[in-house]
């Protein structure tokens, strides 16, 4: 194992026993949701992974190490401190070497998961091509990571704070499969669907595991997006949430919020303007992803043992 990787006792034991492991990110905790709901979400998601037969490994940077598996106290620390850096690929070496606290984005969680030999990663939504990219060139490093790192990312699609068609085009160019789980259309995070038809739709976790195995056995390097729609009962009204998102984007433009601050700003604004309703939806969809992700990880593990 890489010298910078520090496995928790639970993850270490899972490795020894050959159990399925599911990676979880920490930017969603430190920069994606308010305290204390973020910490509670993180604990519940870990428990859902366990209840579905896998072992959770929340990933974060601390004391010059990549921690794979966090204790309750560490989850609390990452959920409730103001000096946690948002760490994407660009930032990883600096934050490790400086021994700072860092929360890993989708891109960095993929890097760390691969180093720890974990194939399945569960989160809420991936980053993507931002609206207005023609001006800003703002394209999340998550997409480039999906192109090169062999980890499957189970998410609820991407938020319409992004330019969804351009995000799909980018992924196609990079050869990243986007698999709709039980849907033929890209889920748009808060809503179950969008108008963007996907190339692949699979209804069983077993077949998803087979697809991942075939991909990597064929040396088709890179990740895959498993897009799992938010459960019906938690989905938001499309016009309502898109109206709010448009307002949040206007405000970000007025305030000249750019770069890595853009996504956290928009998430917080949307949460504020929906009076917490978007946060409830966000938490519900992550929990659902945790169940599906654990099921995929268990199948993948059985088939590759």
Q: Please enumerate, by residue number, every residue annotated as part of a binding site for Mn(2+).
A: 138
What distance in Å separates the CA atoms of residue 180 and residue 201, rounded to the nearest whole number?
5
**Residue of 56, 69, 79, 125 interacting with ligand PSU (CB under 6 A):** 125
Contacted by 141, from Mn ion, ligand PSU, none: CB < 5 to 8 Å by type: ligand PSU
Contacted by 28, from Mn ion, ligand PSU, none: CB < 5 to 8 Å by type: ligand PSU
**Residue of 52, 140, 194, 211 interacting with ligand PSU (CB under 6 A):** 140
| Shortest distance in whole angstroms from residue 3 CB to ligand PSU | 25
Asked if 131 is part of the footprint of ligand PSU (rule: CB under 6 A), the reply reads: no
Q: Which residue has the tokens 């090169």?
A: 148
| Shortest distance in whole angstroms from residue 267 CB to ligand PSU | 6
Region binding ligand PSU by CB under 6 A among candidate stretches 39-47, 164-172, 209-217, 259-267? 259-267
What distance in Å separates the CA atoms of residue 142 and residue 178, rounded to the nearest whole number?
14
| Residue 61 DSSP SS3 | strand
Range 260-279, binding ligand PSU (CB under 6 A):
260, 263, 267
Residues near ligand PSU (CB under 6 A), total: 17
| Shortest distance in whole angstroms from residue 98 CB to ligand PSU | 20
Range 79-118, binding ligand PSU (CB under 6 A):
88, 105-106
| Shortest distance in whole angstroms from residue 234 CB to ligand PSU | 14
Question: Is the Cβ of residue 18 or residue 259 nearer to Mn ion in the bound state?
Answer: 259
What would the x/- binding string for ligand PSU be over residues 10 to 49, using CB under 6 A? ---------------x-xx---x-----------------
The Cβ-side half-sphere exposure at 71, using a 13 Å CA radius, reads 6
122 within 8 A of 80, measured Cβ to Cβ: no
Residues noted as catalytic: 25, 159
Tokens of 129: 């091509």
Region binding ligand PSU by CB under 6 A among candidate stretches 57-65, 94-102, 121-129, 243-251? 121-129
Q: How far is CA 119 from CA 40, 81, 209, in A?
A: 25, 29, 10
**109 CB neighbour count, 10 Å cutoff:** 33
Element (H, E) at 277: helix 277-304
185 within 8 A of 196, measured Cβ to Cβ: yes
What distance in Å separates the CA atoms of residue 267 and residue 286, rounded to the nearest whole number?
15
**177 CB neighbour count, 10 Å cutoff:** 22
Nearest residue by C-beta to Mn ion?
A: 138
Buried b (16+ CB within 10 A) or exposed e, 273-282: bbeebbbebb
| Shortest distance in whole angstroms from residue 93 CB to ligand PSU | 17
User: What's the farthest any 2 CA atoms get from each other in the chain?
Assistant: 53
Range 159-198, binding ligand PSU (CB under 6 A):
159
What distance in Å separates the CA atoms of residue 249 and residue 225, rounded to the nearest whole number?
25
Question: Is the Cβ of residue 104 or residue 301 nearer to ligand PSU in the bound state?
Answer: 104
| Shortest distance in whole angstroms from residue 186 CB to Mn ion | 20
| Residue 62 DSSP SS3 | strand
- Site residues, ligand PSU (CB under 6 A): 25, 27-28, 32, 88, 105-106, 124-125, 127, 140-142, 159, 260, 263, 267
């Amino acid at each position: 194992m890489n010298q910078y990787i520090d496995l928790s006792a639970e993850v270490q034991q899972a490795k020894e026993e050959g159990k399925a492991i599911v990676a979880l990110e920490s930017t969603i905790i430190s920069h994606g949701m308010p305290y204390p709901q973020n910490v509670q979400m993180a604990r519940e998601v870990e428990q859902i992974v366990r209840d579905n037969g896998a072992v959770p490994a929340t990933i974060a940077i601390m004391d010059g190490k990549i921690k794979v598996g966090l204790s309750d106290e560490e989850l609390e620390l990452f959920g409730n401190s103001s000096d946690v850096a948002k760490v994407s690929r660009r930032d990883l070496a600096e934050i490790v070497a400086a021994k700072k606290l860092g929360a890993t984005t989708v891109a960095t969680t993929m890097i760390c998961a691969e180093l720890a030999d974990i194939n399945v990663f569960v989160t809420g939504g991936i980053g993507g091509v931002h609206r207005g990219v023609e001006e800003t060139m703002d394209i999340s490093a998550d997409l480039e990571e999906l192109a090169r790192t062999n980890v499957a990312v189970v998410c609820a699609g991407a938020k319409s704070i992004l330019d969804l068609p351009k995000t799909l085009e980018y992924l196609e160019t990079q050869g990243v499969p986007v698999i709709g789980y039980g849907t033929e259309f890209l889920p748009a995070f808060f809503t179950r669907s969008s108008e963007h038809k996907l190339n692949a739709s699979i209804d069983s976790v077993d077949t998803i595991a087979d697809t991942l195995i075939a991909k990597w056995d064929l040396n088709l390097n890179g990740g895959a997006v498993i897009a799992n729609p938010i459960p019906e009962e938690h989905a938001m009204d499309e016009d309502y949430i898109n109206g709010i998102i448009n307002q949040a984007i206007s405000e970000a433009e007025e305030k000249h919020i750019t770069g890595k601050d853009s996504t956290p700003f928009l998430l917080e604004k949307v949460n504020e303007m929906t009076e917490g309703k978007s946060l409830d939806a966000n938490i519900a969809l992550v929990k659902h992803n945790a169940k599906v992700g654990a099921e995929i990880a268990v199948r993948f593990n059985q088939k590759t043992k």
